[in-house]
Structure 1
Amino acid sequence: MDTYKTVSQSQTTLTELMIPSYANFGGKIHGGIIMGLMDKVAYVCAAKHAGAYCVTASVEGIDFLAPVEVGEMVSLMASVNYVGKTSLVVGIRVISENVKTQEVKHTNTSYFTMVAMSDGHTPFKVPGLILRNDVEIRRFYQGLHRKQLKKYYQQEESRVKSDFERDETFELLKGERCRIER
């Protein structure tokens, strides 16, 4: 019998103070620190839903919208947005808060595809998702749409690679910031 879990059963928030050792050469928090925290919160959220060890299969769109400063609190809010048979998509919203001024910034949003693994290191079937409101329904639908777009994008990449025509490509590259030297 299939099991189902609500979105709220696995929602996870991770909050961490940004310390000087996390800073890059520009004095802002290194993007890799934020990415590492995102991977952690995605794992916890996915594992809570799956009831199993999960691995990161892909990451979609880590676009940094605002810098994070030393001394700010960063909160990463994760929830399962979509489930397949053995995979699930965890949506993560990252915000930073200046504790002195209480200014809150949305720094980025991303989607991590996680795959549940059995103790034998094979993909493990995840519970279905109970959707209780319009936001959860919209997020699930967006996850399905993202999956379809990813498949289309992969097909297009294969087509472009197999249909490569040198002369046609040279013409398309005119006006771009490249110089072909042969």
Structure 2
Amino acid sequence: MTEKFKEVKESEVVMSELMLPSHSNFNGKIHGGYVLSLLDQIAFACASKHSRAYCVTASVDTVDFLKPIEIGELVTMKASVNYVGRSSMVIGIRVEAENIQTGEIKHCNSSHFTMVAKDNNGESLAVPGLILKTDDDIRRFAKSIKRIGMKKKRKQEFHDTDFISEEYLHIQELENVKIEK
């Protein structure tokens, strides 16, 4: 690692691509899987730019599809490093689609990818810290800390072995489910 700290803006990446019919699903909208592929590419670029190392996707923390993307729209993705740990980085990505005929821009997707820097032997590599200069930088860093805490809690609950099914029989009254034991 050559730099001890970097400003958020030093690692920002912007990528644009015209959406083609080959990117669409059976409903004529851009396929979510294709968007996920683009998100992974820009997360890699942003994390690698920050760390100056090869990076791998450790997790996709959130992907919120807010509005569909249409064929012929120009999609622009904006990625920045929101948080850094020792070797991990949370990359925040905003996706906007522009109707190139009308100029209308819509926010279509927000996502957070956790990327980890690796050396040539596949070992985790320390990354530069972040210099937070704006209120947005601070807000994104703080929200990332909160999101990481929630993720740890979900992971712990998922692996909890003290599950007693009788305690959950009431869910059939609240949800669209029928329990038959």
TM-score, normalised relative to structure 1: 0.94
SS in 2 for 1:120: coil
Against the structure 1 CA distance between its residues 50 and 2, is the aligned structure 2 distance closer, same or farther, given a 3 Å change threshold? closer
Structure 2 gaps, min length 5: none
Q: Which residue of 1 aligns with 2:78?
A: 77
Q: Alpha carbons of 1:2 and 1:17: their partners in 2 closer, same or farther (altered >3 Å)?
A: closer
CA distance in 2, matches of 1:166, 1:112: 34
- Please provide the CA RMSD for this pair: 1.4
The answer to whether the aligner puts 1:53 opposite 2:54 as a matched pair is: yes
The answer to whether structure 1 residue 135 and structure 2 residue 136 are counterparts is yes
2:163 partner letter: F
Structural mapping, 1:1-182, within 5 Å? 3-159=4-160, 162-182=161-181
CA deviations over 1:111-153 (Å, ceiling 9, x no partner) = 0000000011011100111111111111111111111111122
CA–CA distance in structure 2, aligned partners of residues 175 and 89 of structure 1? 36
| Range 35-44 or range 130-139, more displaced | 130-139
One-letter amino acid of the structure 2 residue matched with residue 91 of structure 1: G
Deviation per CA, 1:67-118: give whole Å up to 9, x if none: 1000000000000000000000000000000000001000011100000000
Alpha-carbon deviation of 1:2? 6.7
**8 Å Cα contact 2:171-2:177 kept in structure 1:** no
Q: 1:90 to 1:50 in 2, by over 3 A?
A: same
Structure 1 CA distance for aligned equivalents of residues 171 and 18 of structure 2: 48
How many aligned positions are there?
180
Residues 2 and 98 of structure 1, relative CA distance in 2, 3 Å threshold: closer
| Structure 1: runs of 5+ lacking an equivalent | none
Say which SS state the counterpart of residue 61 (structure 1) adopts. Answer: strand
| SS at 1:82 equivalent | strand
Measured after TM superposition, the shift of residue 154 of structure 1 is 1.8
Please give the per-residue CA displacement for 1:46-79, whole angstroms capped at 9, x wherever unaligned.
0000110000001122121111000000000000
Query: Percent identity over the alignment?
Result: 48
| TM-score of the aligned structures, taking structure 2 as reference length | 0.94
